[in-house]
């Protein structure tokens, strides 16, 4: 036992690296963060639990207070086990918004989930691969969009969907979103990129996966609207924002794509560009999750320069003035607006309602502050589908009671859920803005 005979020569330097270099706090191996000190902020008021949509419909779910500060505080360095209930968290992040004391709840959940997937989930299980595929939606979408018509036909073939549920745990209740016959990036290349040049007004567009492969009309609306206001737009190389990866505990995948995104966009920021997102979960990831989880050079810069598209225009342009004289063709369309949870966390829950209040031709009605329940990939999982729909019930009812028969939201998966629950068409605020301001 005694190593009394080992050489004790404290004067000998053991390595070449100077000690005063920055050393991040990595208590747990493999770059996992020690978030126990985050529990210092919690005084256990349970406001997070009362705002958790999963806890509301699932009595078995212990809630964000347990998942976050309590579970972390009970941890010792050698403790590797995370409670499996972490996989029932939908990552809506409403707990972050609810907490009166700045407990880093979603960060704690993200880290714990990643640890759970790394250490406890079998890499041979169907669940793991189902989640991996869902989390890496971009890869599948890339392939699917090569043959959009074929993919769309196959994806919504009834028997195939049933088989998908049985073998792969993807709910057969939902219809897959259609792939566009031309991706946004293809369109962008075809039109020859930016049509407006500017030294002062420059934005770099983070379109994310969905606007590229599935709803290029949203991305095009962004481009046309921003160009109308005189912005020079670049569409740099980019990966997934990471949102579905965080939600599935695939932090390594998220880290890989974040490295691409941060390197790509931080260079542009140095050239005077700001980062614009049309998806509120993408902007959330760049703004909040990146600095919480990653330490790449430029992470803080990207976080500080990222905006949601409408938010950016409201800050820098006289949008209200521009809209005062505008109108949307049609006979007074009524829109049932749902604010995505991730938009709410960024303080954007009311912007579309406020912005379009005085716009002729549309009437926007806020359907309340409930969660849509789909939370990205969550509602696509066969075992989560019922829960997802139970959470969405309040929103469906509110939409049903609203005047309009068209919905509006910034989030692509909230849009899926709204459509799935009500059958309404769902629009993006950028599309309304384009209709009002851009000459067609």
Partner 1 sequence: MGATPSVLVIGGGSTGCGIARDLSMRGLSVTLVEQGNLTHGTTGRMHGLLHSGGRYAVADQASAEECIQETRVLEDIASHCVEETGGLFVKRPEDSEEYFEQKLRGCEECGIPTEVLSGREARKREPYLAADVDKAIAVPDGAVDPFRLCVANAASAQNHGARIETHAEVTDLLVEAGEVVGAEVTHESGPGTRTHGKAGTTERIEADHVINATGAWAGRIGDMAGLDVNVRPSKGVMTVMNVRQVDTVINRCIPKGNADIVVPHETTCILGTTDEEVEDPEDYPEEEWEVDLMIDELSKLLPVLQEARTIRSYWGVRPLYEPPGEGTADSEDITRDFFLLDHADRDGLPGLTTIVGGKFTTYRMMAEDISDHVCDRLGVSASCRTAEVPLPGSRDERVLDDAMDEFGLTSPVARRSKQRLGDRASEVLDTDGPNPVICSCEGVTRAEVQDAIDQSGTDLNAVRIRTRASMGNCQGGFCTHAMAQELHPEYEPGQAEAALDELYQERWKGQRHGLWGEQLSQAMLSYALHATTMNRDHATRSAAGSRTASDADAGETVDFEAFDGGAPGGD
> What value does the CA radius of gyration of the chain take, rounded to a whole number of Å?
23
Rounded CA-CA distance 374/129 in Å is 20
The smaller minimum CB distance to partner 1, of residues 17 and 124, is found at 17
Under the binding rule (CB under 8 A), the answer on residue 173 touching partner 1 is no
Under the binding rule (CB under 8 A), the answer on residue 71 touching partner 1 is yes
The smaller minimum CB distance to partner 1, of residues 81 and 383, is found at 81
Sheet of 362-366, strands arranged across = 362-366, 333-337, 406-408, 425-427
SS3 for 115? Answer: helix
Residues paired with residue 425 on neighbouring β-strands, in sequence order: 406
Of 88-117, which residues contact partner 1 (CB under 8 A)? 101
- Which of these segments, 76-84, 158-166, 211-219, 302-310, binds partner 1 (CB under 8 A)? 76-84
Under the binding rule (CB under 8 A), the answer on residue 119 touching partner 1 is no
Residue from 30, 31, 32, 43 that binds partner 1 (CB under 8 A)? 43
Residue from 32, 56, 83, 267 that binds partner 1 (CB under 8 A)? 83
Residue from 53, 62, 239, 376 that binds partner 1 (CB under 8 A)? 62
Under the binding rule (CB under 8 A), the answer on residue 34 touching partner 1 is yes
* Enclosing H/E stretch for 130: helix 126-135
The smaller minimum CB distance to partner 1, of residues 27 and 163, is found at 27
Under the binding rule (CB under 8 A), the answer on residue 20 touching partner 1 is yes
What letters, b where the CB count within 10 A reaches 16 and e where it falls short, cover 251-290? bebbbebbeebbebbbebbeeebbbbbbbbbbbbbbbbbb
Question: How many C-beta atoms surround the C-beta of residue 175 within 10 A?
Answer: 13
As measured in angstroms, the least distance from the Cβ of 40 to partner 1 is 4
Residue from 32, 50, 56, 85 that binds partner 1 (CB under 8 A)? 85
Residue from 32, 56, 66, 405 that binds partner 1 (CB under 8 A)? 66
Number of helices (H) and strands (E), helices first, in the chain? Answer: 25, 8
The smaller minimum CB distance to partner 1, of residues 39 and 247, is found at 39
Under the binding rule (CB under 8 A), the answer on residue 439 touching partner 1 is no
Residue 427 has φ and ψ, to the nearest 5°, of: -110, 165
The smaller minimum CB distance to partner 1, of residues 40 and 270, is found at 40
Q: Give the dihedral sign, CA 71/74/77/83.
A: negative
As measured in angstroms, the least distance from the Cβ of 102 to partner 1 is 10
Residues paired with residue 381 on neighbouring β-strands, in sequence order: 170
For the record, the structure tokens of 411 come out as 């989030």
Under the binding rule (CB under 8 A), the answer on residue 167 touching partner 1 is no
Under the binding rule (CB under 8 A), the answer on residue 25 touching partner 1 is yes
Under the binding rule (CB under 8 A), the answer on residue 36 touching partner 1 is yes
Rounded CA-CA distance 155/201 in Å is 41
3-state helix, strand, coil split of the chain in percent (to 5) is: 50, 10, 40
As measured in angstroms, the least distance from the Cβ of 354 to partner 1 is 33
Residue 79 has φ and ψ, to the nearest 5°, of: -75, 120
- Which of these segments, 25-33, 164-172, 243-251, 269-277, binds partner 1 (CB under 8 A)? 25-33
As measured in angstroms, the least distance from the Cβ of 69 to partner 1 is 8
Alpha helices for 176-215 (secondary structure H): 184-190, 210-213
Displacement of CA 290 from its chain's centroid (Å)? 11
Displacement of CA 340 from its chain's centroid (Å)? 10
Under the binding rule (CB under 8 A), the answer on residue 122 touching partner 1 is no
Under the binding rule (CB under 8 A), the answer on residue 124 touching partner 1 is no
Rounded CA-CA distance 100/145 in Å is 44
Under the binding rule (CB under 8 A), the answer on residue 59 touching partner 1 is no
The contact pattern for partner 1, residues 211-240, with x = CB under 8 A and - = no contact, is: ------------------------------
SS3 for 147? Answer: coil
Residue from 27, 167, 189, 304 that binds partner 1 (CB under 8 A)? 27
Residue from 15, 59, 329, 439 that binds partner 1 (CB under 8 A)? 15
Binding footprint of partner 1 on the chain (CB under 8 A)? 1-4, 6, 8-10, 13-15, 17, 19-20, 23-27, 34, 36-37, 39-45, 62, 65-66, 70-79, 81-85, 101
């Amino acid at each position: 036992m005694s190593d009394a005979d080992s050489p004790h020569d404290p004067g000998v330097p053991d390595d070449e690296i100077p000690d005063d270099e920055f050393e991040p706090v990595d208590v747990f191996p493999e770059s996992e963060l020690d978030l126990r000190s985050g529990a210092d902020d919690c005084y256990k008021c349970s406001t997070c639990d009362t705002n958790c949509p999963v806890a509301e419909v699932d009595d078995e779910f212990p809630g964000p207070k347990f998942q976050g500060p309590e579970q972390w505080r009970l941890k010792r360095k050698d403790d590797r086990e995370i409670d499996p209930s972490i996989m029932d968290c939908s990552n809506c992040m409403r707990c972050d918004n609810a907490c009166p004391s700045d407990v880093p709840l979603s960060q704690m959940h993200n880290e714990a989930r990643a640890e759970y997937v790394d250490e406890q989930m079998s890499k041979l299980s169907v669940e793991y691969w189902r989640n991996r595929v869902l989390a890496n939606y971009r890869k599948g979408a890339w392939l699917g969009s090569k043959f959009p018509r074929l993919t769309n036909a196959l994806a919504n073939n009834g028997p195939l969907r049933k088989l998908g549920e049985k073998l792969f745990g993807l709910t057969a209740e939902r219809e897959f979103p259609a792939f566009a016959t031309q991706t946004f990036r293809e369109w962008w290349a075809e039109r020859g990129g930016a049509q407006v040049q500017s030294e002062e007004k420059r934005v770099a567009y983070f379109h994310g996966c969905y606007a590229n492969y599935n709803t290029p009309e949203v991305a095009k609306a962004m481009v046309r609207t921003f160009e109308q206001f005189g912005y020079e737009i670049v569409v740099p190389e980019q990966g997934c924002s990471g949102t579905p990866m965080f939600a599935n505990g695939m932090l390594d995948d998220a880290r890989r794509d974040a490295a691409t995104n941060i390197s790509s966009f931080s260079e542009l920021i140095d050239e005077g560009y700001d980062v614009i997102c049309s998806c509120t979960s993408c902007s959330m990831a760049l703004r909040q999750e990146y600095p919480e989880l990653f330490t790449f050079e430029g992470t803080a810069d990207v976080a500080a320069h990222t905006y949601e598209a409408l938010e950016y225009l409201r800050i820098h342009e006289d949008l209200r003035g521009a809209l005062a004289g505008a109108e949307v063709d049609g006979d007074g369309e009524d829109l049932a607006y749902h604010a995505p949870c991730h938009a709410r966390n960024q303080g954007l829950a009311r912007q579309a309602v406020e912005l379009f209040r005085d716009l002729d031709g549309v009437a926007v009605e806020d359907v309340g502050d409930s969660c849509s329940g789909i939370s990205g990939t969550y509602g696509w999982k066969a075992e989560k589908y019922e829960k997802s729909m139970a959470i969405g019930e309040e929103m469906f009812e509110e939409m049903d009671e609203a005047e309009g028969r068209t919905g509006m939201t910034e989030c692509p998966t909230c849009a899926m859920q709204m459509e799935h629950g009500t059958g309404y068409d769902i629009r993006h605020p950028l599309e309304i803005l384009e209709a009002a301001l851009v000459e067609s």
